[in-house]
Chain A
Amino acid sequence: MRKMWILFLKDMRLELRQRDMGVLMIAFAVMETLLFGFALDSGDRLPVSEMAGILWMGFLFAGMLGIVRLFGRESKEDVMVGMAMAPGGRLPVVAAKMGVAWLFCVTTGMTATAMAVAVFQVPGTQISFAVVVVMLLGALGVASVGTLLSSVSLNLSGHEVLLPVLTMPFLVPVAITGMEATRAVWTGGRPWPWIHALMAYDVVFMVLPLLLYEFLWEV
């Protein structure tokens, strides 16, 4: 736990200095929402089904942008070897990365939601606690899938091009459940079956990297 926390704080500190991951994700999500706002002429209110779709597509692409850079700082000087050799083993290294990715995804998701609400004029009564829960869970799905695939593909040539293609199919369930849950909240439907499905997917992909990391380390 101590090692994980040290590594998490280190990543936060690096982000504050370099601003090349979290800031990039948030900027992408904001710009994507604004561009869709102009493109679809949000003067006339969009159907909520389309609003949810635009929000989640923007969020997922922004998430992928961050995931590609997740281990970027470590790859240049083989820093992963140094971190793994530190007392505490290899698991805290990946757990810290997952935590960092989740925090950035949550921030991006919340910003994107706020932007979507403003740009697409979602009525205030339809913004509820459930949307926040959906976004937290969606961020966890993106972070856990992304951490697993990013760590596996770290040493592959063309990692930055390959990773989004590898990640996309695994994010389809996150996208579908997240979109449907958000849509249900915004239309006054029942979001919980979708939220439960998203939770189940998150649990699988949170546990998988922690179980497989020891074996995938050498890939």
Chain B
Amino acid sequence: MVRMVLEVRGLTKSLAGRPILSHISFALRAERSLVVMGSNGAGKSTLLLVLGGVLGYDGGTLARFGRIVPPEGITDGRIGYLGHRSLMYPNLTLADNLNLYARLWRVPDAARCIERAAERVGLSLWQHEPLTRYSQGMRQRAAWARLLLIEPELWLLDEPLAGLDPEGRQLVAGLLAEHLARGAAAVVTSHRWQDAPQLGHMAAVLQNGQLGDWRPVAESTPTEEPG
């Protein structure tokens, strides 16, 4: 039997009195990836932060790995988040940042895992440089190294292809495929339908706080844009 990773029912969320998410419902099982499409400001990032427990929710229910998450939100080490920023200290080197995350996540054999993660994202030669010397694309790769290091079971990826060159996009698609093949799962956001096939199996549009119907990404047309 395939394990359920996420079960969301009637989830609502407001920020500063403004409704952001309204009655969101979906389920995600292991080895699957869902793509949430939406224009800028549609609430995609908020949805991921609520799923990750960084933000709480106002109504409905949220269950992760078979356990209900309390409304105030609670984080879980089995979840990894990749946002628009690297979540790393700019004045520390990549190796130091990864070492910090390795200690927090109790990664065994950390030194070897850090080396491998940096190598996989093509930053081996740069790992002892502070992030202040990195370009935006390199910081994005550094964030991927963090995710690869802690190997979470659920990836929450906020527009992971934005700003990446073709090589970077190929790398992300490959990493995501490997992740799913390991029996893990992912929720990915994007504002470009063209990216959906590289990111997941099913896609739905988030608009005015409401999530549309899920449909296989193969059925979506490349010219169709959300919002």
Contact = CB atoms under 8 A, between A and B. Distances in A.
A82 B101 contact: yes
Contacts of B146: 82
Given A82-B81, A85-B79, A214-B72, 4 more contacts: A78-B85, A78-B86, A81-B87, A85-B81
B54 interface: yes
B56 to A, nearest CB: 7
Contacts of A44: none
A181 to B, nearest CB: 38
Given A79-B89, A81-B54, A10 B75 contact: no
Interface in A64-104: 73-74, 76-79, 81-90
A18 interface: yes
The secondary structure that dominates the B interface is loop
A18 B91 contact: yes
B3 interface: no
Interface of A: 3, 6, 10, 14, 17-18, 73-74, 76-79, 81-90, 214-215, 217-218
A81 B81 contact: yes
14 contacts: A3-B104, A10-B100, A77-B86, A78-B83, A81-B87, A85-B53, A85-B54, A86-B77, A86-B104, A86-B105, A87-B106, A89-B75, A90-B75, A218-B15
B103 interface: yes
Contacts, number: 73
B15 A14 contact: no
Contact of A79 (B74, B79, B87, B105): B87
Interface of B: 15, 49, 52-56, 72, 74-77, 79-81, 83-92, 100-101, 103-106, 131, 139, 146
Contacts of A14: 89, 91-92
The secondary structure that dominates the A interface is helix
A169 B206 CA distance: 44
Given A14-B92, A17-B91, A77-B88, A89 B74 contact: yes
A103 B16 CA distance: 35
A132 B157 CA distance: 50
Contacts of A87: 75-77, 104-106
Nearest to B80: A85
A86 B72 contact: no
Pick the most buried of A10, A83, A85: most chain B CB atoms within 10 A of its CB: A85
A90 B49 CA distance: 14
Contacts of B92: 14
Contacts of B90: 76-77
A215 B104 contact: no
A83 B150 CA distance: 13
B72 A6 contact: no
A215 B56 CA distance: 9
Pick the most buried of A3, A77, A217: most chain B CB atoms within 10 A of its CB: A77
Contacts of A77: 85-90, 131, 139
